[in-house]
Amino acid sequence: MKKPYFGRLLTAMVTPFNADGSINYEAGADFADWLLANGSDGLVVEGSTGEAATMDMDEKIKFMQTIVARVNGRAKIVAGAGTNCTASTIDLVKKMEACGVDGVLVVGPYYNKPTQEGYYQHFAAVAKATKLAIIVYNVPGGNIAPETVARLAADFSNIVAIKEAAGNVAQTAELYRVLPEDFSIYSGDDGLILPFLSVGACGLISVLANVNGNILQQLMQAYSEGRVKDAADLNKVMVPLAKAMFI
């Protein structure tokens, strides 16, 4: 299994809307082209940043089909497919699989806040229901323990990565310790990519890359080449930009 599995920089792509609230499908396809020309190795479509919570199912399917058709195999496409309900998640994953995506980003049920066994059973059910590669998405509000992620990685070959967005560097270090060498750890926060790289992360699922993926690629390349001071200097410029994305 290659690492990072989907590429080093995945953009959590925004969804363009028209003034009347309808989706601008053509603008979305054009934007996907722009992202791939400006630093993105792959795209996460219809995640939180893509405002999936405001899209109905017909819109989700049409928009995903539009992006898959435009990208046409030039890069990996990961569909946001997580819900608080296991059955609904499986249904959404199957619909995204039919759209031709390369993988799915599945969030741990953040409202239910299950036990660790509950997290395991949720992801196990999803993994059994699809052949797609799965990124486990850990968010604040609940927490999927490193031991649970390691158990899932051991039991299901299609669980290949984690988006760690709980903001905990020590937990990321523990993930690197307990997970297989070829398992991909992605930072879920632009502002934490540099410290996360230092403890074992191999890439980033980014919001900032919607406007400036190149600075993130340069930062990660500098770190991978051992130019730590250069990486720190780029980080100094990047962090205020990342913070501005969340106003």
d(CA 88, CA 124): 14
Q: Which of 25, 119, 120, 137 is flagged as catalytic?
A: 137
- For the chain, the residue count is 247
Residue type, 227: R
Examine the residue annotation and report whether 163 is marked as an active-site residue of this protein: yes
What are residue 17's DSSP bridge partners? Answer: 23
Q: Is the dihedral of CA 51, 134, 191, 112 positive or negative?
A: positive
Quote the CA–CA distance of 9 and 76 in Å, as a whole number. 11
In this structure, which amino acid lies at residue 102?
D
Q: Looking at 5, 25, 60, 163, which residue is catalytic? A: 163
Nearest CA to 137 among 118, 156, 115, 163?
163
DSSP string computed for 148-196: HHHHHHHH-TTEEEEEE-S--HHHHHHHHHHS-TT-EEEES-GGGHHHH
Q: Which residues are known catalytic residues?
A: 137, 163
